[in-house]
């Protein structure tokens, strides 16, 4: 495989740190750019280990602290959104891993696309909030968007050479820590309870989204844009074992599935090395240990967030952006103990009901809708 230089936007998060693990295992991959919010201690370690040419720090106070700490290195530091944009278009990078949390990743992803970079997409919110705009830009600039999410990577692999025959996407979900529980049982659950994911090790926000099934709703909307599917073609299946990462049903009713252990380094590596498949340190599935795979329909009455995501997708325009912005505020409020678990969906739905829909929004209208949704959500708390 030819040498590839990687930019990691969100290098201190779960995906970012695992991306660095993958890079360290593959000879022809190197990291030329790092970007993160404010985890100064980890950023310093990463800079000293990887020696990137550039590091962007979104938080200004963290930037000042880090600049002092790494003054003895050759890494150049930049700050704020301008710094993230510079990191996204750095000339010496081939692939940009976009794994920054939330809608802050949208502008850098668009900048990287316009700079002709291959995108390893791990930021769901980019396509949820501005899917049509992002995909149009990718087509305009001839840029490949390679999914990092395990489910979308699975769909991508199953569709290779067969996209024209797509009938249905079967998007699998673990069901999170509260699978099978009733609304009554969920009235008193805490953030600590919700953060106990049965299969995956992830950041706190995405883990709460998994518990509410909002994460799966975001993935539904992401799949719609990535694969040009209609929402009616996407079915969510609860698969507790997280061995089948997703499936695709074709027009002849045959189904292809992608299977693997619950290890994010597998889809990360494929996104970085595609179209090559290189040896991996991830374990293969032992079917003698996983000899029973189960499937169930999601309970959208109890876990309202998944239903709200379909509603937002059907409404289109600014509605998915509004839903996403309200959800980020609601999840943060739940983690801080300011609202109850079931109130996350209630808050998101209340904000969606007040949205003044813009059917075909510009980028600036998307950002305005996001800001409005967050402010409105805060007012409800």
Contacts of 135 (CB under 8 A, 6+ apart): 127, 145, 225, 226
Over residues 204-225, the mean pLDDT reads: 96
Distant-in-sequence contacts of 63-67, Cβ < 8 A, 24+ apart: 65/40, 66/40
pTM of the entire predicted model: 0.94
* pLDDT over 90 (residue 266): yes
* pLDDT over 90 (residue 1): no
- The alpha carbon of 39 is separated from its chain's Cα centroid by a whole number of angstroms, namely 19
* pLDDT over 90 (residue 158): yes
Report the percent of the chain where pLDDT is more than 90: 93
Q: Helix or strand or coil: residue 32?
A: strand
**Is omega for the bond preceding 275 within 30 degrees of 0, making it cis?**
yes
Over residues 281-291, the mean pLDDT reads: 91
- Full strand arrangement of the beta sheet holding 244-250: 234-238, 166-173, 244-250, 255-259
pLDDT at residue 80, as a whole number: 96
Q: Band of the pLDDT at 199, cuts 50, 70, 90? A: confident
pLDDT at residue 102, as a whole number: 77
How many angstroms separate the Cα of 97 from the Cα of each of 69, 214, 271, 339, 353? 25, 23, 9, 33, 34
Give me the numbers of helices (H) and strands (E) for the chain, helices first please: 16, 11
Over residues 368-376, the mean pLDDT reads: 97
pLDDT at residue 306, as a whole number: 98
Over residues 5-29, the mean pLDDT reads: 96
Three-state SS sequence of 100-137:
CCHHHHHHHHHHHHHCCCEEEECCHHHHHHHHHHHHHH
Over residues 183-189, the mean pLDDT reads: 95
pLDDT at residue 185, as a whole number: 96
pLDDT at residue 247, as a whole number: 98
pLDDT at residue 293, as a whole number: 95
């Amino acid at each position: 495989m030819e040498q590839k230089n990687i930019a990691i936007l969100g290098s201190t998060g779960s995906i970012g740190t695992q991306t660095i693990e993958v890079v360290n295992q593959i000879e022809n991959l190197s990291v030329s750019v790092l970007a993160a919010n404010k985890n100064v201690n980890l950023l310093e370690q990463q800079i000293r280990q990887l020696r990137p040419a550039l590091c962007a720090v979104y938080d200004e106070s963290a930037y000042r602290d880090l600049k002092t700490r790494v003054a003895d290195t050759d890494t150049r530091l930049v700050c704020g959104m301008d710094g993230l944009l510079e990191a996204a278009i750095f000339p010496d990078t081939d692939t940009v891993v976009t794994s920054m949390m939330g809608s802050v990743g949208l502008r850098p992803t668009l900048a990287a696309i316009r700079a002709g970079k291959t995108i390893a997409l791990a930021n769901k919110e980019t396509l949820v909030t501005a899917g049509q705009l992002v995909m149009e830009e990718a087509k305009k600039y001839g840029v490949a968007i390679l999914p990092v999410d395990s489910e979308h990577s699975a769909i991508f692999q199953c569709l290779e050479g067969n996209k024209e025959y797509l009938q249905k996407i079967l998007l699998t979900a673990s069901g999170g820590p509260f699978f099978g529980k009733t609304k009554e049982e969920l009235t008193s659950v805490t953030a600590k309870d919700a953060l106990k994911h049965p299969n995956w090790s992830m950041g706190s926000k995405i883990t709460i989204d998994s518990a509410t099934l909002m994460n799966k709703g975001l993935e539904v909307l992401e799949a719609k844009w990535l694969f040009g599917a209609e929402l009616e073609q996407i079915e969510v299946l609860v698969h507790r074992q997280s061995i089948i990462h997703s499936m695709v049903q074709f027009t002849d009713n045959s189904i292809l599935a992608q299977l693997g252990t619950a290890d994010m380094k597998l889809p990360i590596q494929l996104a970085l090395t595609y179209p090559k498949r290189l040896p991996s340190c991830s374990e293969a599935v032992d079917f003698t240990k996983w000899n029973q795979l189960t499937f169930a329909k999601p309970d959208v009455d109890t876990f309202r967030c998944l239903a709200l995501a379909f509603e937002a997708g059907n409404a289109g325009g600014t509605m998915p952006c509004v839903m996403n912005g309200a959800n980020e505020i609601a999840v943060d409020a739940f983690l801080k103990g300011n609202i109850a678990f079931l109130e996350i969906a209630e808050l998101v739905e209340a904000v969606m009901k007040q949205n003044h829909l813009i059917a075909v929004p510009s980028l600036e209208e998307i950002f305005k809708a996001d800001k409005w949704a967050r402010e409105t959500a805060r007012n409800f708390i």
